[in-house]
Amino acid sequence: MRTAADLADQPSGFADDATPLARAAEHSLSVRLRSRSLPPAPRPDATRVFVVANQKGGVGKTTTTVNVAAALAQLGQRVLVIDLDPQGNASTALNIDHHRGVPSTYDALVDGEPLADVISPCPDVENLWVVPATIDLAGAEIELVSVVAREGRLRKAIHGHPAVGSAADAGEDRFDYVIVDCPPSLGLLTLNALVAGEEMMIPIQAEYYALEGLGQLLETVDMVRAHLNPALAVSTILVTMYDGRTRLAAGVAEEVREHFGDQVLRTAIPRSVRVSEAPSYAQTVMTYDPGSPGALSYLEAAREITSRGVRS
């Protein structure tokens, strides 16, 4: 019988570095190192304000928000995530404390606190900052009903931040992207986001009923554009939970592309256990398993966003 010492002296084919777990760890580390050496994407000339919305639940809205944000930060962009969902799932995934009493979007929306006073840096991703959401935000819609210009509170807060604006006005320390994660409803919080945003990103899952309810969302966008924010555009649609093994997923993706054309990113996000697991460890998949197909897909989607949206 061979001893542990005998095994340690075996050629590398039998050593620990050949075990599946060791190989996976080595691959993950190599991807991390590679991602750090990625050439940075070109920065936009002015801050791009994205609203991630879809009132249909379970489409990967918050997952898309945090992973696109982390991927953009890895590509050298300075990113601010604003969590506008009272559940605070984006805050959880980005490892930001969001218990009651923490400075949050509630303070900015209801009390008019400057956005700079409620921002926290993401501890795991460089160049990424977060405005967390607390449970107090659940009552914000009622509290804002009687407020004058209640639909424009978030817009005022965002554009009041000195790091939001053009390169000439805000300088090199400006935010390149502000990404707002909306609640899964079309209430006053989402309306605030639509008024504040210039671009809208809609995640659509590659499943049956994918387009159900989307008509109502687009009608709301048209109404906001007509009366409150003519600059709002649906610039980006991302197919999520894509399973290439099924004809259903391919059919849904094809239908989405027929409806929306160039607004749909070429990159689709695959259905992935790693993507689903990451929030339970207070991480995005970009840090939880950077070598996974989900992480690499979000990285490619982020690069698409930067390449198709650089302003001249």
> CATH code at 183?
3.40.50.300
Query: What confidence score (pLDDT) does residue 209 get?
Result: 80
Is position 9 within any domain?
no
Q: CA-to-CA distance for 64 and 201, rounded, in angstroms?
A: 9
Q: What is the pLDDT of residue 103?
A: 94
In a domain, residue 5? The reply is no
18 occurs within a structural domain: no
Full residue range of the structural domain in which residue 202 is found? 45-309
Cross-strand bridge partners of residue 245: none
Backbone torsions φ then ψ of 263, nearest 5 degrees: -70, -20
**Does some domain include residue 15?**
no
Comparison of pLDDT for 249 and 1, the residue scoring more: 249
Q: What is the pLDDT of residue 78?
A: 97
Angle between helical axes of 293-309 and 20-36 (0-180°, round to 10) = 10
For the beta carbon of residue 201, count every other beta carbon within 10 angstroms.
25
pLDDT single digits (tens) 60-115: 899 999 999 999 999 999 999 999 999 999 999 999 999 998 999 999 999 999 99
Which tokens go with 9? 């002296």
Would you say residue 19 lies in a domain?
Answer: no
Position 139 pLDDT exceeds 70: yes
Type of residue at 195: V
Q: CA geometry: angle at 185 spanning 206 and 293, to 5°?
A: 30
Q: What is the mean pLDDT of residues 149-170?
A: 94
Check whether 227 has a pLDDT greater than 60.
yes
Long-range contacts of 270-279 (CB under 8 A, 24+ apart): 270/241, 270/242, 270/243, 270/244, 270/294, 270/297, 271/241, 271/242, 271/243, 275/63, 275/67, 278/93, 279/63, 279/66, 279/89, 279/92, 279/93
Asked if residue 48 has pLDDT above 70, the reply is yes
In this prediction, residues 54-58 reach a mean pLDDT of 78
For the chain, the distance separating the N- and C-terminal CA atoms, rounded to the nearest angstrom, is 71
What mean pLDDT, rounded, does the chain reach?
A: 87
Whether 135 is covered by a domain: the verdict is: yes
Across the range 261-287, mean pLDDT stands at: 93
Number of domains in the chain: 1
Contact 64, 91 (CB under 8 A): no
Nearest to 104 by CA among 138, 79, 72: 138
Residue 57: C-alpha distances to residues 76, 204, 213, 214, 241 (Å)? 31, 10, 10, 12, 13
For residue 15, pLDDT beyond 50: no
Residue 32 forms part of a structural domain:
no
The model's pLDDT over 200-226, given as tens digits with 9 standing for 90+, comes to: 999 998 887 877 778 888 999 999 999
- Across 174-189, average pLDDT: 93
pLDDT at res. 26: 55
Q: CA-to-CA distance for 209 and 279, rounded, in angstroms? A: 26
pLDDT of 9 > 80? The answer is no
What are 128's strand-pairing partners?
79
Sorting pLDDT into bands at 50, 70 and 90, what band is 7?
very low
For residues 106-128, average pLDDT: 95
Kindly tell me if the per-residue pLDDT of 267 is higher than 90: yes
What is the reported pLDDT for 210? 78
- The model carries a pTM of 0.86
pLDDT of residue 208: 78
**Partners of 209 in the β-ladder:** none
Please report whether residue 2 resides in a domain. Answer: no
